[in-house]
Chain A
Amino acid sequence: MPRGTAPVFRRPASTPLRQALILLVLFSVIEVATLGVAFVKMRADLGREIAVGLEREMAGFDLSATPRAMSAIVAARARASDPARSVIVFLSDDGSQTGNAVAEFDAETLRLVPGDPSRPLSEAGYLRRIERLSGGVLVLGASLEPVRDLRETFFSLVLLSLVPTILLSLAIAGMVARRTARRVDAVERVLSRLSAGDLSARLPDPGPAPDDLGRIAAGVNRMAARQEAATGALRQVTSDIAHDLRTPLQRISVLLQDLGHHLAPGSPEADLADRAQAEAGNAVSVFQAMLAIAQIEGKGRSIAMEPLDLREIGRRVFELYQPAVEDAGDTLDYAEPDAAVTVRGNGDLLSQALANLVENAMRHTPSGSSIRVAVEPGPRLRVTDNGPGIPEAERGKVLERLYRLERSRTTPGHGLGLSLVAAIADLHGARLVLDDAGPGLSVTLHFPGADDGRP
C-alpha cells in the first residue's frame, strides 16, 4: 500500500473502522429511540392537558342560556381571546354566527376559517369540542401549537445532539482506524518480508506498556528472532555436517587413491578401489545437492543475479549434453526464438537447473526416447520427453526432497535433482509446472515476465 494516503476511505474492510461505524449506528438508534419514546409520552400528556382544559371551558357555559345571551357571552369572550390560541364560535339556530373565527359546515365536517384577516388561526390545527345548546351550536377549539412546538423542540434536540455526535465520532473513528491501519500495515509488511525469507525484518519496539497491537508486534518480533536463530543454527549445522563429512570422505578418498597406486592397473583389486572411490564421490554429490538447496532456500537474497538471455543457457546445456544423450540412444532437440529472452537470474544456477532436467529426462525414459529443450518467450524454459511421464497424483511429490517414483528406485540418481530445480525456480520467482506431454513429461519454468499472466 502506498504511504501518505488516507487508508480509511479505500479500506472499508478495516476492522476498527467497521467496528466504529457499527457502534455509531447503534448509539444513534438508541438515542433516537430514547428521544422518540420521551416525545411520544410528552405529546400524549400535552394532548390530554389540552383536552382537559377544553372540557373545563365547555363546562363553564350555561347550557340553558338563550341564544341571544349565548351570543353576547361568546362575543365578549371572542374579543378577549386570540383565535391563534383558542377559538370560540357560537352558531345560532337562526343562522347567525358569533366568535373569533368562522365555522363552516361542509358535508358534515367542520372547517374553521379566520373571521378577521388581522386575527389569523393557528397553522398547527385545533382540538375541537362541539356542543349542542338549546339555541344553537357552540364550537370550542384549542390550538395544537404547543404540540407542534414540542415536536420542533424534540427535532432540534435530536439534530443538535445527534449530528455533532455522529460527526465527531466519525472523525475520531477515522483517525483511530487510520492509525491502526497504519500499524496493521506495518505488521503485514514485516510478515510478508519474513515469509519471503528476510528473517531480519522487525517491527518497531512497542515500548514498556504495549497495547494489543503492540503486543502482537512484540510477538511477531519474538517469532522472527526465534526463526532467525533457528535458521542460523540449521545453517551452521548444515555447514558443520558438510565439513565434518567432507573431512573423513577426503581421507577415504586419499586412502583409496593411495591403495590404487599400490595395485596393478587393471587388476580386479584396482577396479574395486576405483568403484569405492566413485561411491564416495556419489555420497559427496548427495550432500552437495542438499547443501545447495539449503543455501538457495536460506540465503536467497544474497545470491548474485543479473539480466541474462535464456537462449545462452539453453544453447550451452543443449550443446553440452547432446552427444551424451545420443550415446545413450536418445535424441536431444533444441528450439529457441529469434529474439533474446531476457530474465534476471544466476546463470550458473539456471544452467544447473536445466542440466538437471535433461539428466532427469535421460534417466527416466527408455532408450530411443526424444528429449526436447525449448526456450520460449514468456519467458519460459521447457524440457519435454516422450517417456512414461509422472502420474498426476505424484507430480507434487516428485518435487519433495529425496522422493523417487516407485519404478525409479532402481535407476541411478539421488532424488534431489528436481528439488534443486524447484529451489532454483523459487529463487528466480519462477513457477515450476509439471505437465502431461501425452505421452511423456513436460517440465516448464515460467519466469515472471510480460506475458506470463501472473505477477
Chain B
Amino acid sequence: MRVLFVEDDRTTGEFVARGLSEEGHVVDRLEDGRDALAQAMAAPYDVMIVDRMLPGLDGLSLVKALRAAHCRVPALFLTSLGGLEDRIDGLRAGGDDYLVKPFAFGELSARLDALARRPPLQENETVLKAADVEMDLVRRTVTRAGRKVDLLPREFAILEHLMRRKGRVQTRTMLLENVWGITFDPMTNVVETHISRLRAKIDKPFDREVIVTVRGAGYKFEG
C-alpha cells in the first residue's frame, strides 16, 4: 500500500514509518500540513495517516480541504486530543477512523488495513467458509470439520466478524467498536474473556487453531 503519513513528532513518525515499511508498505512521511495537502493532490495514495495538530495546516482542515477537492483517500486521524467530541469532529471532517495517542503500532497497522480494504466482504452472503469452518448466517449455525459447534449469539457475532476479515488483525478496540458498538476502553479484559470462550468451542476440540493471537495487536482468523 502507498501510505501518506503526516506527523510532526519525529520519534513517533520515524518509528511508525519504519514499522509500516517493514510490513511492506511504501510510506511518504511529511511534517507540515500544507506540504501534505500538495502531496496528497499530486500522487495517488491508498490510505493516509494524519496527525490532528500539524504546523502549517492542521489535520482537520487538511482532510476537509482534500474532501472538498473530491479526494477520497481513506484517512485515519492520530490525535493527542482524546475528548468526547474530538472523535466526532474528526469523523465529521471526513476522517474514516480515529486513533488516540499513545497507541500501539499493532493497533494502527490493523486499522490501516481495515481502512484500505473497505468495504469488507459482501454482506449478502448466506454462508461463510474459511479453513474447515462453515458458518450459516441464515440458520445461525457453525460447523467445523463437519461437527456442529454450539455458540452463544455474541460468540457467533465475534466469529462472523473475524471470518469476514479473514487473515486481517482485529484489535480489541476494533472488536469492541464493531461487535458491541462501544467506544470507551474497559479496564477489565472483557474482550479477551469472550475470545477465550469462543476458542474453547471452536479451537480446543480440534488440533489446529483458526483464531490466532497477534502479539501486541489483537486476533485474526487464519484460514
| Residues of chain A having any CB pair with chain B under 8 Å | 239, 242-243, 246-247, 249-255, 257-258, 260, 265, 277, 280-281, 284-285, 288, 291-292, 295-296, 299, 302-304, 316, 319-321, 323-324, 327, 348-349, 351-352, 355, 359, 362, 412-413, 417
Contacts and interface: CB of A to CB of B under 8 A. Distances in A.
Contact of B83 (A251, A254, A281, A291): A291
A254 B187 contact: no
Contacts of A413: 187
Contacts of B21: none
Given A284-B102, A320-B190, A348-B184, A250 B84 contact: no
Contacts of B193: 323-324, 327
B83 A265 contact: no
Given A251-B12, A351-B184, A242 B190 contact: no
Contacts of A252: 102
Nearest to B184: A352
A289 to B, nearest CB: 10
A288 B101 CA distance: 11
Given A249-B101, A257-B216, A265-B215, A243 B84 contact: no
Interface of B: 9, 11-12, 15-16, 53, 80-85, 88, 100-105, 154, 180-190, 193-194, 197, 215-216
A413 B83 CA distance: 21
B83 A250 contact: no
A358 to B, nearest CB: 8
SS class, residues of chain B in contact with chain A: loop
SS class, residues of chain A in contact with chain B: helix
B12 A355 contact: no
A243 B80 contact: yes
A303 B182 contact: no
Contacts of A280: 102
B202 to A, nearest CB: 15
9 closest Cβ pairs, A-B complex: A246-B80, A253-B102, A250-B102, A250-B101, A323-B193, A324-B193, A254-B15, A352-B184, A251-B11
A249 B88 CA distance: 23
B101 A257 contact: no
Given A243-B53, A299-B85, A348-B184, 17 more contacts: A246-B100, A247-B80, A249-B102, A250-B12, A250-B102, A254-B15, A288-B100, A295-B84, A296-B84, A299-B84, A321-B186, A321-B188, A323-B190, A324-B188, A324-B190, A348-B84, A355-B182
B182 A359 contact: no
A252 B104 CA distance: 11
A253 B108 CA distance: 13
Contacts of A303: 84-85
A362 B188 contact: yes
B181 A316 contact: yes
Contacts of A351: 182, 184
Contacts of B104: 253, 257, 277
A254 B154 contact: no
B186 A320 contact: yes
A75 to B, nearest CB: 116
